[in-house]
Amino acid sequence: MFLLDKLEQYAGTDRIALLYQGQAVSYRDLSRQAEAFAAYLLDAFGSDDAPVLIYGHKDLFIPPCMFGAIKAGHSYIPVDTTFPPERVCQILEQAAPCLVVNLSDTELSAAPLIDKNALADILSAYEGRFDGIDRITDDHTVYTLFTSGTTGKPKGVQITAKNIAAFVDGVAPWFDCGLTEGVFLNEISYSFDVSVCALYYALSRGFTLYTVDKQTMNDPKALFVALRESNIDFWVSTPSLAEFCVRSAQFREALLPKAKKFVFCGEVLTKKLAQEMLARFPHAEMINAYGPTEATVLVTAVTINDALCADSRSIPIGYPFSNLRAIIAAPDGTELIDGKEGELLLLGDCVSPGYLRRPDLNERAFFTDTDSGLRGYHTGDLCRRENGLIYYLGRMDGQVKLNGFRVELEDVESNLLRVENIARAAVVPVVEDGKTVALTAFVCLQRADGLSSLARAKKIKTALAAVLPSYMIPRKIVAVDDFPVNTNGKVDKKALSALA
């Protein structure tokens, strides 16, 4: 696999691969630890190629475990600590991993399982014992990411070596900034696919990943100290992070004087933010990019300029990468001409082989084009193409992007119904400037609880925290006597959105 080859190449240099909380991991150490973990997996599990689940958040041991799993012929499943234990159990049930690596302080019920101390002992004991055999084919599953699902349980998107190679080839012209080495911001959770930009693009170029964790992200003072010290050349994040940063006058070129590119993806980029970033970083390139997890991170991009910001239309999601096909299709699948609205279909080597053990979902979401033989994916995104540029117009279902994370509203609703004394639940997005900024849940109680609105919301959120990642918990919870209904007798979510 190209990345593993690159890691070996850089392992012969003094380059730093990872920087985190004052600790540095060289490419040499990263390669050495990955090979030691691979040797352990081969010794412990032999020909069993079941995946390895890695639970943690930005720990320096995570990348060696990822790449070691690949070297041993396994895939890996990164699960962030924002996923509570019950959610992790749902993933374990679906994925059936051969091993769980728990790098957190949270106790997990899984076997076999190793913690951080055991992992350190393993890496020491197995150093230098890897056989060096390349076990990766194009169709080998490299990782599986679990995203929100409509049934109330997460679904696993499988990504192969071929998918990742297509992503890196497609994104390279947009990410290239003329550097043979540099510093790349690494703040995105490893369980969110945008982190692949750092893990597979940046590391394959010999960059240093400057790692910022969620604790730092939640402390403005600490965050700006970290950014000032980072010396980054390349920034990739959701727009939400930049919107948080621009609240401070510090966030400008003087803070990040070497920054050459800012890439925003994962959610809608507003014109207000785009204009603010152009003003504050006049010598850096601003890029808006788009892509679903099922098509390997990113598939379109466009450089933002004053003309696009002044246009009456929204900021476009960009031009399709040169190594894939993007089609705006009518409901019957026929391609629409420019200016017509339809579903965005993606075809190419970037498209996933499908969801893990979910043939029912695969049949609806994926297809093979009869003319080209290319793998295709129904994004569910309503789009329009004009002069080669694609504009995002919204979702065609109940899915939203919140702070870059994909959330199925039905998933949140299903888990609300598991909370004691909730009879009915409906969740709507709170939208500002075309972007989802929060969720509001409306609930009907089975019986009066005598609680204040604040006490009730706190109780419900506490119950949800046991089953949902923190980013999926509604900001506001409102108890109502009944839901408004539309002419079809269904819950009128437009009316609820107006209330929200």
Structure tokens at 250: 């510090």
pTM for this structure? 0.88
- Between these two residues, 298 and 147, which has the higher pLDDT value? 298
Structure tokens at 132: 């060096």
Residues 297/301/304/307 CA torsion (nearest 10 deg): -150
Residue 227: which residues within 8 A CB-CB, separation 6 or more? 245, 251, 255, 256
Contact 400, 407 (CB under 8 A): yes
Convert 269-290 into a string of H (helix), E (strand) and C (coil): CCHHHHHHHHHHCCCCEEEEEE
| 14-50 b/e (C-beta count within 10 Å ≥ 16 → b) | eebbbbbeeeebbbbbbbbbbbbbbbbbbeebeeebe
| Beta strand pairing call for 375-386 and 341-348 | antiparallel
Other beta carbons within 10 angstroms of residue 75's beta carbon come to: 23
Instruction: Tell me how far the alpha carbon of residue 176 is from its chain's centroid.
Output: 21
Residue 80: which residues within 8 A CB-CB, separation 6 or more? 56, 57, 189, 190, 191, 192, 469
Structure confidence at residue 1 (pLDDT): 80
- Residue 248: give its domain's CATH number: 3.40.50.12780
Q: Tokens 């933010």 label which residue? A: 273
Structure tokens at 2: 């190209």
Residue after which a domain boundary falls, among 236, 263, 290: 290
Is 67 contained in some domain? yes
Is 421 contained in some domain? yes
Residue 199: which residues within 8 A CB-CB, separation 6 or more? 63, 66, 190, 209
Structure confidence at residue 490 (pLDDT): 65
Sign, Cα dihedral of 426, 432, 433, 437: negative
Residue after which a domain boundary falls, among 290, 307, 327: 290
Is 44 contained in some domain? yes
pLDDT in tens, 71-114: 999 999 999 999 999 999 999 999 999 999 999 999 998 889 99
SS3 297: coil
Closest among 144, 4, 104, 2 to 64, alpha carbons compared: 4
pLDDT in tens, 421-466: 998 888 999 988 888 999 999 999 989 999 999 999 999 999 999 9
Within this chain, do residues 425 and 281 fall inside the same structural domain, yes or no?
no
Within this chain, do residues 44 and 183 fall inside the same structural domain, yes or no?
yes
Is 168 contained in some domain? yes
Closest among 214, 255, 254, 179 to 20, alpha carbons compared: 214
Is 484 contained in some domain? yes
Within this chain, do residues 161 and 282 fall inside the same structural domain, yes or no?
yes
Mean pLDDT estimate for the chain? 93
Is residue 487's pLDDT more than 60? no
Within this chain, do residues 54 and 196 fall inside the same structural domain, yes or no?
yes
d(CA 102, CA 113): 7
pLDDT in tens, 346-360: 999 999 999 999 999
Burial class (CB in 10 A: 0-12, 13-18, 19+), 171: buried
Is residue 392's pLDDT more than 80? yes
Is 360 contained in some domain? no
Closest among 142, 210, 200 to 171, alpha carbons compared: 200
Residue 490 exposure: Cα atoms within 13 Å on the Cβ side: 3
Residues 160/162/167/173 CA torsion (nearest 10 deg): 160
Closest among 428, 440, 426 to 474, alpha carbons compared: 440
Q: Which amino acid is located at 199 in the chain?
A: L
- Give mean pLDDT, residues 148-163: 89
- Give mean pLDDT, residues 360-384: 95
pLDDT in tens, 36-78: 999 999 999 999 999 999 999 999 999 999 999 999 999 999 9
Is residue 488's pLDDT more than 60? no
Contact 80, 42 (CB under 8 A): no
Closest among 177, 166, 235, 186 to 205, alpha carbons compared: 177
d(CA 465, CA 99): 25
Structure confidence at residue 433 (pLDDT): 82
Tell me the longest C-alpha to C-alpha distance in the chain. 69
DSSP annotation of 243 reads: H
pLDDT in tens, 233-283: 999 999 889 989 998 999 999 999 999 999 999 888 889 899 999 999 999
**DSSP strands (E only) in 140-260:** 141-147, 155-160, 183-186, 208-211, 234-237
- Residue 429: give its domain's CATH number: 3.30.300.30
| Owning domain of residue 40 | 2-290
Residue after which a domain boundary falls, among 255, 290, 325: 290
Within this chain, do residues 215 and 72 fall inside the same structural domain, yes or no?
yes
Is residue 177's pLDDT more than 90? no
- Give mean pLDDT, residues 280-301: 98
SS3 69: helix
Is residue 489's pLDDT more than 70? no
Q: With bands split at pLDDT 50, 70 and 90, how would you rate the model's confidence at 342?
A: very high
Which ranges of 211-270 would DSSP assign to H, the alpha helix?
214-217, 220-230, 239-245
Is 339 contained in some domain? no
Count the domains in the chain. 2
Proportion of the chain above pLDDT 70, given as a percent: 99
Is 16 contained in some domain? yes
- Between these two residues, 212 and 153, which has the higher pLDDT value? 212
Sign, Cα dihedral of 9, 14, 18, 24: positive
